Chain A
Amino acid sequence: MERRDFLKLAGITGAGTLTACDQKVGPKYLIPYLVPHEDVTPGIPTWYASTCRECPAGCGTHVKTREGRVIKLEGNPESPVNRGKLCARGQAAHQHLYDPDRLEGPKRLDGGRYVDGSWDDSVRALAEGIAGASGEVVLLTGLQTGTLNRFYDEWAADRGVTRVVYEPFAHEPILEAHRRVFGQASIPAYDIAGAEFVISFGADFLETWVSPVRYSRDWAAMHAVKEPGGPAGVFVAVEPRLSMTASNADEWLAAKPGTEHLVALAMANVLGAGGESAGWSPERAAEATGVPAEKIVEMAHRFGGHRSVALPGGVSTQHAQATAAAMAVALLNQAGGAVGDTVRLSPSTSGAVAGSYRAMADLTARMKAGRISAILFAGTNPAYALPPGLGFTDALKQVGLRVSFDPLFTETASWCHLLLPDHTPLESWGDWEPEAGVASIVQPAMTPIRDTRATADVLLAVRRAAAGEPAAAPATAPAGASLEAESWYDYLRAAWSDRAGDEQAWAALLKAGVWTGAVTAAAPAVATPSGDAAGAPTPAESAPLEFGPAEFEGPEGNDAFHLLLYPQIAMYDGRNANQPWLQELPDPATTSSWHTWVEVNGKVAERLELEDGDVVRLESPYGSVEAPVIVYPGVRSDTVAMPLGRGHARMGRYAKHGVNPVTLLPPVSEIHSGALAYQRVRVSMSKTGAWVEPLKAQGSDSQHGRGIAQAVPLAEIIAANGHAADDHGEAAAHHGEPHTRERAAADSGNTSPYRWGMAISVDSCIGCNACVAACSAENNLPFVGPERVAKSRQMHWIRIERYFEDRPDGDLETRHVPMLCQHCGAAPCEPVCPVYATYHNMDGLNVQVYNRCVGTRYCANNCPYKVRYFNWFNYEWPEPLNWGLNPDVTTREVGVMEKCSYCVQRINAAKIAIKDEAPDAVIPDGYFQTACQQTCPTDAITFGNLKDPASRVARLAEGPLAYSVFEHLNTRPANFYLRQVTGRMGAAAEVARAEPEPVAAGADTAAGGGGE
């Protein structure tokens, strides 16, 4: 650090201490810049384009900073991956940066305790450790792509170090299957948006699988009802548990665990694929899977008759037949003509360079044998992720020097001698290649807040130290991306010299954040299956592969259940566990948070007399865990399911909640791909007699006929040619004057050109909770912790209500309804406020004035939508989590009520900004977005001005699908909901058969289409 930088920092620290939290008078000092910054104006946000690194998908981000601090992330619309959207994990990414449990700086283990070290000493110790190693030195990294991946490889080769990659969900079976079938180990690009029929075999592509934001958008495009009243794409999910993804399916086929792929194989058989599928008739598959043969035949015909795509992944590629499962799906795609159309084989998606569990098993064996002298961990936490039976941590004891680069004190770091914390991604330079031909820049949005260093810089310094040079950089670094580079930044910059040579091009790239170019790899975009045609790639030598159900080991009998472990949408592989917004994010399926639960089918719960919160003990031959039950209708009665990612022994204060169910797993890999088989054991389940609060956000799974989430059969829309009657089903229940767009628009002042309102599509909402996280970040929503969640004191201005409908055919139909303040024209909350703290303003907003509120809570009691939240405490923002607070929004204090404000700070900012154009200019449609709308991956939320009949929201509110919740209460809400469209299965089939007369055919379908 230069002297100048040091003094600046010293100055800042002093000022920070003086200004921070003088409880009585607020900030006392105004600290100016030393040198005016030409790109930063105090009070105006500065945005940086970067890349989200909370999972391997590589979504482009726009990072909003105020006064040098990151306060919000939004998707980069230029990125072909996420096109402006982010998931909940992306929205909470700055809680990784501001994690209060981050390591302060380098540390070393000394006499059983960690003591602070200096970077110079640490680099020296590391260099000496590596130089003095008698055995092998291993650099173990998480999945990397792009320049850092290349750097690690080069550095390892240069230093004689073995590089090993470990990523818990590395999709090894999909890679292996495509290597076998198409001669190319890659995850194909699946064109979900372009398909008419999507069938997923376990792939949770709306949650965590490969690139969930992209697939959510694509799914919404596929699934939408095409105007006017045309057909819509159909989505079917085949998996033993109703995941959030499956809950959005038009049909859920609950195949027995370990058999999903047999449905695919039988479908391929019906389509005449022959080969491996020949032995699997629908009847045989039906017997093995529990999915009726006629369903399999129906799905096969549907698959063959439409532009279709089948997705392998998730639970189906995590059992003992994982590779066979991925192959079966690849064969189905081939048989249905999808390969080369909706399934395009392309080289090097991010998953393609991931390592496998087997590599870790080999590594563990080598460590046990004492062959490894030093191991360096970068961006991976195997001590948490691996089954304890593998003995990884025991084997670590045989390694003389253990080094962690993690910014957090993870389980793995707790075994290390040297802790050399890296920056978090929002403080880092780098790049990421989400797919071939796309590279996304990672650039720092703020100065590192801890004494951290880029791992690549440390490795370069180690190399220099080993070469006998002073640890300082050489005076003249040669050009080009080589290990002679002075710094990691220089290496990165040189690696980009061919794509962004001069400073102008580089600056343009940093501004855009994402680079797209031609796919350079030689691999064909379309391949044919091996043995299918001349010239096809020859499959490599492989162990023969048998199809058939996956085996599970462990207890048998009535009280033994298949254990299904799944990556949970907020926690993923556990890396996000110390981010409190994500801990408190309600699970889409169970609405639970902050702990690890066991999902048990209602019938089983009845038989075993289990209720929500009853703590059970699950035992497999390899271990046992205790966790509370949540009764969930979406899990088969021969299966229990548990989310992964929680139950950390280390990492931080928020990560410790819950248990880590990996302890139940055997330390064996799936034989062909080397992946860890997460679905591998049966467990016995016994009551412990204890009970804990299940922490569910939602009390009932049923709407109890209240018409909160309404639906309309597709056939009815088609029959009416896009002009479906506005009253059917539950909607018929209302009395009095119907609530219309005009009526809502009249609920604002005559002088105001605005009546803000929303149109929210129940049909598009997938329940992913990205809006909840976005709202938390934008509006400074606190997390209240598990003890207060237990008392239903969550503070989520927007929440996803998830309802199950009983359908006549016995299928489980799920509806997701984002519920937030309705900004009613006749708001029940307003007249009961004794102090005028809540009122209707001239723009139609239902305003909450915090400084008027005296906390009677009458308003919340009188709100039929239950969208008002009370501050029972001054909620804590442990330093430096408070650094991420949005300065444009008041942080509420104990004793006041709060609720959705329609992002009034954005409305006011827009009102000020529009005056730059003309003093009396009216904010045009789409001029700004609310935080929830901005991030919604499926565009389920549309915000705008109901007074403008041409605005998108007005048109949707006048559309055939619109209704308002609790219309009969005459609250005159500003939120219009758009009905869920049901019966796609029947309607689509009929339309396909009867074209070109879809209207008549659609009408026929209403009876047999499985609609309501």
Chain B
Amino acid sequence: MPMASRLRRPILGTLSVLAALVSAACAEDRRVDILVEKAPEQPVLFYHTIHAGQDQIPCAYCHFSADRSEEAGIPAVGTCMGCHRFIQGSTPEFQQNIQVLMEFAADSIAIPWVRVHSVPTFVQFPHKPHVRAGVDCAECHGDVASMEVVERVAPLTMGWCIDCHRQRGAPDDCATCHY
């Protein structure tokens, strides 16, 4: 898309992953950040078991920026529709779930996925250096490919982070994550 037309309708303010920004501004009790539900109900019943498990779609196909950004990236509705324009589902249950997705797409409404993994607001966690260092997604996120509903398996506590950092010889300086 040429730059001019992009800029005629510049980037919509709040569209994407606002986590860091909003949390930086708002969080008050820093301890409860990690107390969010472990396996919250999602607005669309999305099966990682089908996508990552059965179909073997690589994580980074949808979580597109994990290897180059601090955010792993949540796929745009358009990314879902890339396949689901053609894939309508093999069972009535799947068809129903896909229908929910289609409605979001038809109404041009972004799907409000419920956050599963978050770190406290005083922690700066960039995905990129972890992915580049060869840390497998599953090491922190668990075997998502076998989860019907995504569930947080790692404690995401500092001790857990530091254990891994020390095992791998990654920096354990406070200023690596806290600034």
Q: Please list the residues of chain A having a beta carbon within 8 angstroms of any beta carbon in chain B.
A: 4-5, 7-12, 14-16, 18-44, 46, 48, 65-69, 443-447, 449, 489, 493, 503-504, 506-507, 510-511, 780, 839, 841-842, 845, 847, 849-852, 874, 877, 882-883, 885, 887-891, 893, 901, 904-905, 908, 912, 915
Partner of B14, one of A16, A22, A25, A904: A16
Check if B110 sits within 8 Å of A15, measured CB to CB: yes
Nearest 6 CB-CB pairings of A with B? A43-B71, A43-B69, A887-B20, A507-B3, A26-B23, A21-B26
Query: Which residues in B have their C-beta under 8 angstroms from that of A841?
Result: 173-175
Q: Residue B75 at the A interface, CB < 8 A?
A: yes
Query: Which residues in A have their C-beta under 8 angstroms from that of B3?
Result: 506-507, 510-511
Query: Which residues in B have their C-beta under 8 angstroms from that of A780?
Result: 24
Q: Quote the shortest CB–CB distance from B76 to chain A (angstroms).
A: 4
Q: Quote the shortest CB–CB distance from B60 to chain A (angstroms).
A: 13
Q: Residue B164 at the A interface, CB < 8 A?
A: no
Which of B50-58, B92-100, B120-128, B141-149 is found at the contact surface with chain A?
B120-128
Q: Quote the shortest CB–CB distance from A756 to chain B (angstroms).
A: 11
Q: A29-B114, A41-B69, A447-B10 are in contact. Are A891 and B78 (CB under 8 A)?
A: no
Check if B108 sits within 8 Å of A28, measured CB to CB: no
Check if B22 sits within 8 Å of A890, measured CB to CB: no
Check if B175 sits within 8 Å of A845, measured CB to CB: yes
Query: Which residues in B have their C-beta under 8 angstroms from that of A25?
Result: 27, 32-33, 35-36
Q: Residue B118 at the A interface, CB < 8 A?
A: yes
Check if A19 sits within 8 Å of B22, measured CB to CB: yes
Q: Quote the shortest CB–CB distance from A367 to chain B (angstroms).
A: 39
Q: A29-B114, A443-B7, A901-B179 are in contact. Are A36 and B22 (CB under 8 A)?
A: no
Q: A26-B22, A890-B179, A891-B25 are in contact. Are A32 and B110 (CB under 8 A)?
A: yes
Check if A24 sits within 8 Å of B28, measured CB to CB: yes
Check if A44 sits within 8 Å of B69, measured CB to CB: yes
Check if A44 sits within 8 Å of B18, measured CB to CB: no
Q: Quote the shortest CB–CB distance from B57 to chain A (angstroms).
A: 16
Query: Which residues in A have their C-beta under 8 angstroms from that of B23?
Result: 26-27
Alpha-carbon distance between A24 and B121 when the two chains are bound, in angstroms:
11
Binary contact readout B1-27 vs A (1 if CB under 8 angstroms, 0 otherwise): 111101111111111111111111111
Binary contact readout B147-163 vs A (1 if CB under 8 angstroms, 0 otherwise): 00000000000000000
Q: A41-B65, A887-B21, A915-B129 are in contact. Are A27 and B11 (CB under 8 A)?
A: no
Q: Which of B47-104 contact A (CB under 8 A)?
A: 64-65, 68-71, 73-79
A12 — nearest CB in chain B belongs to which residue? B14
Q: Residue B115 at the A interface, CB < 8 A?
A: yes
Q: Quote the shortest CB–CB distance from B172 to chain A (angstroms).
A: 10
Q: Quote the shortest CB–CB distance from A692 to chain B (angstroms).
A: 33
Q: Residue B30 at the A interface, CB < 8 A?
A: yes
Check if A40 sits within 8 Å of B11, measured CB to CB: yes
B132 — nearest CB in chain A belongs to which residue? A915
Q: Quote the shortest CB–CB distance from B59 to chain A (angstroms).
A: 15
A16 — nearest CB in chain B belongs to which residue? B14
Check if A882 sits within 8 Å of B25, measured CB to CB: yes
Alpha-carbon distance between A504 and B2 when the two chains are bound, in angstroms:
8
Q: Quote the shortest CB–CB distance from A454 to chain B (angstroms).
A: 12
Query: Which residues in A have their C-beta under 8 angstroms from that of B70?
Result: 43-44
Alpha-carbon distance between A893 and B27 when the two chains are bound, in angstroms:
9
Q: A5-B9, A7-B109, A43-B70 are in contact. Are A890 and B75 (CB under 8 A)?
A: no
Q: Quote the shortest CB–CB distance from A67 to chain B (angstroms).
A: 5
Q: A28-B36, A851-B120 are in contact. Are A34 and B126 (CB under 8 A)?
A: no
Q: Quote the shortest CB–CB distance from A928 to chain B (angstroms).
A: 15
Query: Which residues in A have their C-beta under 8 angstroms from that of B45?
Result: none
Query: Which interface residue of B23, B24, B79, B178 has the most chain A CB atoms within 10 A?
Result: B24
A10 — nearest CB in chain B belongs to which residue? B109
The interface on chain B, measured as residues whose beta carbon lies within 8 A of the other chain's beta carbons, has a size of 72
Check if A30 sits within 8 Å of B113, measured CB to CB: yes
Alpha-carbon distance between A676 and B44 when the two chains are bound, in angstroms:
66
Query: Which residues in A have their C-beta under 8 angstroms from that of B69?
Result: 41-44
Query: Which residues in A have their C-beta under 8 angstroms from that of B9?
Result: 5, 447
Query: Which residues in A have their C-beta under 8 angstroms from that of B110?
Result: 8, 11-12, 15, 31-34
B interface, by DSSP: helix, strand, loop or mixed?
A: loop
Check if B173 sits within 8 Å of A905, measured CB to CB: no
Alpha-carbon distance between A887 and B74 when the two chains are bound, in angstroms:
18
Q: A20-B22, A21-B25 are in contact. Are A851 and B2 (CB under 8 A)?
A: no
B33 — nearest CB in chain A belongs to which residue? A26
Q: Quote the shortest CB–CB distance from B83 to chain A (angstroms).
A: 14
Q: A26-B23, A887-B20 are in contact. Are A489 and B8 (CB under 8 A)?
A: yes
Q: Residue B139 at the A interface, CB < 8 A?
A: no
Check if B16 sits within 8 Å of A68, measured CB to CB: yes
| Number of A-B residue pairs with CB-CB distance less than 8 Å in the complex they form | 258
B69 — nearest CB in chain A belongs to which residue? A43
Q: A447-B12, A503-B2, A890-B124 are in contact. Are A23 and B29 (CB under 8 A)?
A: yes
Q: Quote the shortest CB–CB distance from A849 to chain B (angstroms).
A: 5
Alpha-carbon distance between A887 and B69 when the two chains are bound, in angstroms:
13
Alpha-carbon distance between A30 and B71 when the two chains are bound, in angstroms:
11
Q: Quote the shortest CB–CB distance from A620 to chain B (angstroms).
A: 46
Partner of B73, one of A29, A35, A41: A41
A903 — nearest CB in chain B belongs to which residue? B179
Check if A8 sits within 8 Å of B126, measured CB to CB: no
Q: Quote the shortest CB–CB distance from A397 to chain B (angstroms).
A: 40
Check if B13 sits within 8 Å of A18, measured CB to CB: no
Alpha-carbon distance between A69 and B10 when the two chains are bound, in angstroms:
11
B117 — nearest CB in chain A belongs to which residue? A30
Query: Which residues in A have their C-beta under 8 angstroms from that of B79?
Result: 36
Check if A885 sits within 8 Å of B21, measured CB to CB: yes
B32 — nearest CB in chain A belongs to which residue? A24
Check if B115 sits within 8 Å of A889, measured CB to CB: no
Check if B4 sits within 8 Å of A30, measured CB to CB: no
Q: Residue B137 at the A interface, CB < 8 A?
A: no
Check if B11 sits within 8 Å of A65, measured CB to CB: yes
Alpha-carbon distance between A925 and B175 when the two chains are bound, in angstroms:
21
Partner of A32, one of B4, B16, B68, B127: B16
B175 — nearest CB in chain A belongs to which residue? A847
Alpha-carbon distance between A294 and B26 when the two chains are bound, in angstroms:
64
Query: Which residues in A have their C-beta under 8 angstroms from that of B33?
Result: 25-26
Alpha-carbon distance between A842 and B171 when the two chains are bound, in angstroms:
10
Check if B7 sits within 8 Å of A34, measured CB to CB: no
Q: Quote the shortest CB–CB distance from B160 to chain A (angstroms).
A: 16
Q: Residue B111 at the A interface, CB < 8 A?
A: yes
Check if B15 sits within 8 Å of A12, measured CB to CB: yes
Check if A23 sits within 8 Å of B174, measured CB to CB: no
Query: Which residues in B have their C-beta under 8 angstroms from that of A449?
Result: 13
Query: Which residues in B have their C-beta under 8 angstroms from that of A35?
Result: 76-78
Partner of B112, one of A8, A29, A67, A877: A29
Alpha-carbon distance between A280 and B112 when the two chains are bound, in angstroms:
78
Q: Quote the shortest CB–CB distance from A625 to chain B (angstroms).
A: 38
Query: Which residues in B have their C-beta under 8 angstroms from that of A905?
Result: 124, 179
Alpha-carbon distance between A852 and B178 when the two chains are bound, in angstroms:
10
Q: Quote the shortest CB–CB distance from A876 to chain B (angstroms).
A: 10
Query: Which residues in B have their C-beta under 8 angstroms from that of A852?
Result: 174, 178
Q: Quote the shortest CB–CB distance from A306 to chain B (angstroms).
A: 48
Check if B179 sits within 8 Å of A38, measured CB to CB: no
Given contacts A30-B17, A882-B25, A905-B124, 9 further A-B contacts (CB under 8 A): A26-B118, A31-B74, A34-B77, A36-B79, A43-B126, A446-B10, A506-B4, A874-B28, A890-B179
Check if B17 sits within 8 Å of A67, measured CB to CB: yes
Check if B78 sits within 8 Å of A11, measured CB to CB: no
Q: A15-B110, A444-B10, A850-B122 are in contact. Are A33 and B21 (CB under 8 A)?
A: no
Q: A35-B77, A890-B124 are in contact. Are A446 and B13 (CB under 8 A)?
A: yes
Q: Quote the shortest CB–CB distance from A785 to chain B (angstroms).
A: 18
Query: Which residues in B have their C-beta under 8 angstroms from that of A28?
Result: 36, 114-115
Query: Which residues in A have their C-beta under 8 angstroms from that of B4?
Result: 493, 503, 506-507, 510
